[in-house]
Structure 1
Amino acid sequence: MDLCLVIKQRLQDLGLEQRDLAVAANVTESYISQLLTRKKMPPASDRTDIYDKMAKFLKLPAGKLAEMAGLQRKEELKRNLGEPPAPLLKEVRELILRKCAPDKEKQVRAIFEKQPFGELERLVTQKLLDVVKRVAKEELGSENWLQLVARLVGRSYEQMRVIVLEFLDTDVFSVSVEDCDSFLDPLIESWDMDLSTFAMEVVLNRRLAPGYPKKFEFVEKEADRPSEEPAFKRFLRDRFLSGDAIEEEIEFLKRLRFNGKRPTPLYYYRELQNLRDPLHFRNASGSSMRNSSGGPK
């Protein structure tokens, strides 16, 4: 079922207007209008209470609107994936550079200009977005916080709720000037990065986001080694089974994986014998390893 059609039909059945729904959902009438005309993508259901408020007002089963919104979002995202990403707007880049630590700003600017919308610019922008979106999501249910931010950016409470919903759907490819004016600029005091390790620190406006600076590090490390099978350990302890297995053979047996099945120590013994049996392997010429008389070596 179509989200927009269902909402329109319920409004008609109940003799209500879009402005009534906007009041019930604590958003602007303009936002409701754009949702119902598909000019705005429905917000993700896990980031907002708008569907609960609308469903209650329209006397619909709980979760129905959220489910339909999720399906519509998937279709929209599929279509958008085929479109090439646009570079950051000039105003967005300038804000990010202005918030950069003074001793790094010149160096970072040079990298941004040499590699427009390159890896570093995308990394920094995405991380700043992630930090601010986390704050916005946590505070979405706080009327006091929304009122405070609304006053700072010259918006009404209802407008601010709409802006937050749209901002939570923003990514590095779609960040707008309005996102900067409403969130990135007022919430971020500064950011710094160690360009050799890409460790990043973000300092937030304590009035809007109390707490310690957020630190992020990008450290290369080896993947965790999978744990050994219990039967493999018993196989190694049993000298009758493991015998004179050499290091290369043990390493080979250790790497075997079974997709949920549990082998026995005897399995490893047989696998070891198979590994040593020349009939199971071919030499470089592709023929089986046999001696001159035709029998196995």
Structure 2
Amino acid sequence: MDVSLVIRRRLEEFGLEQRHLAEAAQVTESYISQLLTGKRAPPAPNRTDIYDKMDKFLKLPSGELARVADHQRKEQLKRELGDEPAALFRDVRELILRKCNPDTLRHVRAVFEKQPFGELERLVTQKLLDVVKGLAQQELENETWLRTVAELSGRTYEATRVSVLEFLDTDIFNVSVVDCVSFLDPLIESWDIDLATFALEIVLNDRLVPGNVKKFEFIELEAEQHFVDEPGLKAFLQDPSLSGTATPEEVAFLQRLKFKGKRPTPLYYYRELQNLRDPLHFRSA
């Protein structure tokens, strides 16, 4: 049973057409057509409200289409990956958690256990792997570095070198306890994450890594703006009789003014400042 089959049966049962369902679900008829013909995979239930709207329109039990869609997506994932992603090996997860900042650990562990191998666990594990693999790749030909890693992990130099080559081919679906003991444990001192912004900080072993703190941001930030002062603005700012009382906010406003093919004078900026201060030029918000 899949989403398209359930929908088609209900449409036929009620004598309805795709366009009627599209109107009820507030999507295009083309979208419904692609969904019913299998050209478009059913969306993840937790990321859309379309199933609630279609359940109501097709007089299905609440949550029915979401349940079918979730099952269909999991079956597709099994076909693509061979099996549904499972939680990390307990020892691997415990080592990763052991490196977590104690102040954050309780909250992170709760998320890991509630959502085994969910988005947070994959994010943290992937970033730890990325950092350590990048370092291992960079130092692969550095005998001194490899011998230090071998000493810290209790292995021979030769065994460590072989492990590096194998480790560089691993991913979050296949990371092993051996990988952790050989690399993650000796190289990573600690890590911390802000669960509100997902900003991640990784502290590496300072015996092995100069500049041993890595930081990653996962929120959208406004790009820092850089303003090039017009010659007239520079002259305005250098003349206390014109700009002596201008506040930083007012100067920032004047800096954002753009001109094409013209060069305003210092007097222009003075008049613009007075206009900005004149309450007659503004209405109450």
Instruction: For CA contacts below 8 A with separation 6 or more, give which structure has more relative contact order.
Output: 1
User: What's the TM-score, normalizing by structure 2?
Assistant: 0.48
User: What's the TM-score, normalizing by structure 1?
Assistant: 0.46
